[in-house]
Amino acid sequence: MAHDNAQTAGIDWSDPHAFHHDPSGHHDEHDNLHPHVTPWQHLVFVLLALLFFTALTVFAANAEAWAVSMGVHITHFWNVVIAVSIAVVKASLVCMFFMHLKYDTPLNTMVLLTTLFVFGLFLMFTSIDLGKRGMVNPVKAQIIQPGGNGIGMVKGGGNLGANITTARKKQAIERLAATIAADHGRDTPNEEDLAEANKEFWFEFYHHKVEDHHGEIPPRHLDDTENIHAEWLAHHRRELDARRVSDASHSRPKHGLTPGLFDTEDPQDGREHDGGHGVEQNAHTGGADGEH
């Protein structure tokens, strides 16, 4: 990099051989670019900083495991926040110096920031939707979990700390058992109840499979050991399918937007029909009470 010493500092690099150099001082501005040339020392420094931050983020990821071995449990939240924050710092360095945004017209930076803003909206509204479904219908909330710990991948991983996932699954199974028991008017389901629920589930499962594919695809069996993955999926879906309700990861459509519209039995059967006026009357009465 011999060009960078003080002797050559005054050279017009867009015309280093002075082809267009006019001794009279009339310089043709219209033909030349006047770029900002980043000093190579800056670029080397940025590269070293990027490598440093790469080492740091790997170190931070390992630190979680070390902390666990010393009895400190770093939550999954901080694991994510640290990793993504370091990535943002690295990306900013690349954008500012390697991509010259620091020295460019601000228009290019505006394009990038606008894009990132749209990305933020995309992520935010999707996350809010998924995270807050439980506020509308509690049964849709239980699948969303804060984080896994790779417990299935580590021998003796049961010592890693609170296994949230297992607790949630246990909770879901208990709720399912309670639902089955309630169907039979009991506090806890007995063997026959569970067997019946299981049979009911498989009937529904096969029925919908066959119906969806017009009978072209044969139903899968639990002893279809050649497709062990299909077996797992089917087994896992049992809990949710048995309840026949939508949750965060499976949508079970009803017939039409109006609940009960196509039901063969009147859902209000056995109750006194008010002809739809009851709600209005109650609301009116409530309002009148509030005024007094």
Partner 1 sequence: MTAINTDKPVGESAGRKQMPWERYVQGHHWRNAEDEFDAAKFGMWLFLSTEILLFAGIFVGYAIMRMLHPQAFSNGSHYLDVRWGGLNTVVLLISSWTVAMAVRAAQLNQQKWLRVNLIITLICAIAFFSIKLGLEYIPKWSVGKRPGALFNYPFASDPYEPMWWSIYYTATGIHALHVLVGAGLLTWVLVRSFKGIYGPKNYAMVETSGLYWHLVDLIWIFLFPLLYLIH
Residues numbered 239 to 268 that lie near partner 1 (CB under 8 A) are 248-249
As a whole number of angstroms, the distance between CA 100 and CA 246 comes to 50
Residue 155 within binding range of partner 1, rule CB under 8 A = no
Of the two residues 109 and 196, which places its CB atom closer to partner 1 in the complex?
Answer: 109
Which residue in the set 73, 132, 147, 198 belongs to the binding site for partner 1 (CB under 8 A)?
147
As a whole number of angstroms, the distance between CA 3 and CA 18 comes to 16
Residue 97 within binding range of partner 1, rule CB under 8 A = yes
Residue 16 within binding range of partner 1, rule CB under 8 A = yes
Residue 278 within binding range of partner 1, rule CB under 8 A = no
Contact (Cβ atoms closer than 8 angstroms) between residue 137 and residue 251: no
Q: In the bound complex, what is the minimum distance in angstroms from residue 212's beta carbon to partner 1?
A: 16
As a whole number of angstroms, the distance between CA 99 and CA 102 comes to 8
Which residue in the set 25, 106, 138, 152 belongs to the binding site for partner 1 (CB under 8 A)?
152
Which residue in the set 96, 151, 172, 210 belongs to the binding site for partner 1 (CB under 8 A)?
151
Residue 208 C-alpha from the chain's centroid: 29
As a whole number of angstroms, the distance between CA 161 and CA 79 comes to 15
Residue 66 within binding range of partner 1, rule CB under 8 A = no
C-alpha distance from residue 187 to each of 92, 175, 238 (Å): 59, 12, 21
As a whole number of angstroms, the distance between CA 222 and CA 230 comes to 9
Among 141, 138, 158, residue whose Cα is nearest residue 150: 158
Contact (Cβ atoms closer than 8 angstroms) between residue 59 and residue 37: no
Contact (Cβ atoms closer than 8 angstroms) between residue 139 and residue 245: yes
Residue 133 within binding range of partner 1, rule CB under 8 A = no
Handedness of CA 210, 212, 216, 219 (dihedral sign): negative
Q: In the bound complex, what is the minimum distance in angstroms from residue 248's beta carbon to partner 1?
A: 6
Mask for 166-205, x = binds partner 1 (CB under 8 A): ----------------------------------------
Which residue in the set 127, 137, 171, 268 belongs to the binding site for partner 1 (CB under 8 A)?
127
As a whole number of angstroms, the distance between CA 207 and CA 219 comes to 9
Residue 139 within binding range of partner 1, rule CB under 8 A = no
- Residues in contact with partner 1, counted by CB under 8 A, come to a total of 92
Which of these segments, 26-34, 176-184, 209-217, 264-272, binds partner 1 (CB under 8 A)?
26-34
As a whole number of angstroms, the distance between CA 74 and CA 64 comes to 6
At residue 71, what is the residue type? G
Of the two residues 83 and 245, which places its CB atom closer to partner 1 in the complex?
Answer: 83
Which residue in the set 72, 123, 162, 182 belongs to the binding site for partner 1 (CB under 8 A)?
123
Which of these segments, 33-41, 257-265, 267-275, 278-286, binds partner 1 (CB under 8 A)?
33-41
Q: In the bound complex, what is the minimum distance in angstroms from residue 245's beta carbon to partner 1?
A: 16
